[in-house]
Amino acid sequence: MSVLTVACEQTEVLLFDPISSRHIKTLTEAHEDCVNNIRFLDNRLFATCSDDTTIALWDLRKLNSKVCSLHGHASWVKNIEYDTNTRLLVTSGFDGNVITWDTNRFTEDGCPHKKFFHTRYLMRMRLTPDCSKMLISTSSGYLLILHDLDLTQSLEVGSYRMLRARRTPLSSDGGTSASRSAGTPRQGNDSSKIHPHREGMSPRNSLEVLTPEIPGERDRGNCITSLQLHPKGWATLIRCSSNMDDQEWTCVYEFQEGAPTRPLVSPRCSLRLTHYIEEANVGRGYIKELCFSPDGRLICSPYGYGVRLLAFDESCGELADCLPVQTSCLREIRSIYSHSDVVLTTKFSPTHCQLASGCLSGRVALYQPKF
């Protein structure tokens, strides 16, 4: 069954048939506050999260009531991910916490959970497609990467101020390592990656703290609002704004693999800015969620009262075939203006040649190319 689910500001979740655009059902009181994100766990089970600090599990076969409600966050819950290997649900919120939930053992009263990670100024959290890395964006312009991810371990990190100042790596037992890099960060990226080393074993949950390079913004702070991953795990896609909220950019950063398994004198940043484009700064203060197409060749970005489709070259080539020697601009393939208010979210269908966008006033638009 193909279903388009829509998270709404006023406690509702809408369900549509994406082919016919027919409205299927409205979950009128899905939560007690704004619904922020929806994630399918399989073909029938999906999770929603809300500013009411809870996560809810739903079954498409029985939508009259929730499967269960999950309580553990202390503030607005903004993001849901799912590790298909361990069947752990992973959520993040404005309380700075990343929490894992064991959906293998859920009941009507909820399911076991534990705090996996904490950092101040947390905005968005994503898992790479193979669940080997976790990326966390922050409103202070930092990007955190946990490499060789193990969600079964809980990690304790002090205040974000300490993490920012010391950039200490995480040890395998969740503490902080005493070692520190003496190398000079790569220009344009304030970074320092150190992998804790265990004899005969690969390091797990090693932490990297980056300030992603923004063209023309080296002397100004920025806020990383939207964060997405390339469907093949090759790159990360971010939408960021200046600290004065007067400029916005969409940026693509390639993952540079081959990371060392022990500290080096000059650590290598694992991200490289490959493409970017400046965005229309319409709807200041609102987060605009962008997305990759299922094949990773197109980017759909909210652009004022519409969307624009961006590519790495004029032929919509693969990122791997379009990596420039120097950072280059994304190519605008087409712009579509079909809303009467600021577009805040976009999403490609994973199964159909279709795109959806939603605006501030609540209207959802579906686009399907004609051949």
List domains and CATH numbers for the chain: 1-164 (2.130.10.10)
Q: Which long-range contacts (C-beta less than 8 Å, at least 24 apart) are formed by 58-62?
A: 58/13, 58/27, 58/30, 60/1, 60/3
**Tokens standing for 66?**
């929730």
Closest by CA to 344, choosing from 298, 294, 295, 304, is 304
State yes or no: pLDDT of 360 exceeds 70. yes
Give pLDDT tens digits for 89-138: 999 999 999 999 998 887 777 889 999 999 999 999 999 999 999 999 99
How much is the mean pLDDT over the chain? 83
**Banded model confidence at residue 21, pLDDT cuts 50, 70, 90:** confident
**Banded model confidence at residue 194, pLDDT cuts 50, 70, 90:** very low
**Tokens standing for 253?**
């950063």
Model-level pTM?
0.83
Residue 308 to residue 370: CA distance in whole angstroms: 17
What local confidence, expressed as pLDDT, does residue 221 receive? 54
Between the ranges 251-260, 266-275, 307-316, where is the mean pLDDT highest?
307-316
The overall longest dimension of the chain from CA atoms, in Å, is 60
**Banded model confidence at residue 293, pLDDT cuts 50, 70, 90:** very high
**Banded model confidence at residue 213, pLDDT cuts 50, 70, 90:** confident
What local confidence, expressed as pLDDT, does residue 185 receive? 30
Please, which residues have CB within 8 angstroms of residue 207's CB and are 6 or more apart in sequence? 144, 145, 146, 147, 157, 169, 170
Alpha carbon of 107 to those of 69, 104, 131: distances in Å?
A: 9, 9, 25
Alpha carbon of 133 to those of 127, 145, 149, 223, 273: distances in Å?
A: 6, 7, 5, 21, 18
What local confidence, expressed as pLDDT, does residue 178 receive? 28
What local confidence, expressed as pLDDT, does residue 141 receive? 86
**Banded model confidence at residue 268, pLDDT cuts 50, 70, 90:** low
Tokens 């599990």 found at = 57
SS3 331: strand
Closest by CA to 13, choosing from 39, 2, 75, is 39
Tokens 């939207």 found at = 226
Closest by CA to 156, choosing from 173, 131, 181, is 173
Please, which residues have CB within 8 angstroms of residue 126's CB and are 6 or more apart in sequence? 79, 81, 134, 135, 227, 228, 229, 236
**Banded model confidence at residue 285, pLDDT cuts 50, 70, 90:** confident
Residue 188 to residue 112: CA distance in whole angstroms: 42
**Banded model confidence at residue 201, pLDDT cuts 50, 70, 90:** very low
Please, which residues have CB within 8 angstroms of residue 218's CB and are 6 or more apart in sequence? 188
Please, which residues have CB within 8 angstroms of residue 321's CB and are 6 or more apart in sequence? none
Closest by CA to 335, choosing from 355, 296, 306, 364, is 306
Residue 178 to residue 281: CA distance in whole angstroms: 43
SS3 266: coil
Phi-psi region of 285 (alpha: psi -120 to 50; beta: other; left: phi over 0): left
State yes or no: pLDDT of 187 exceeds 70. no
Return phi, psi of residue 162, to 5°.
-65, -45
Phi-psi region of 122 (alpha: psi -120 to 50; beta: other; left: phi over 0): beta
Alpha carbon of 192 to those of 140, 143, 174, 187, 268: distances in Å?
A: 17, 12, 19, 12, 8
What local confidence, expressed as pLDDT, does residue 156 receive? 63
Percent of the chain with pLDDT over 90: 61
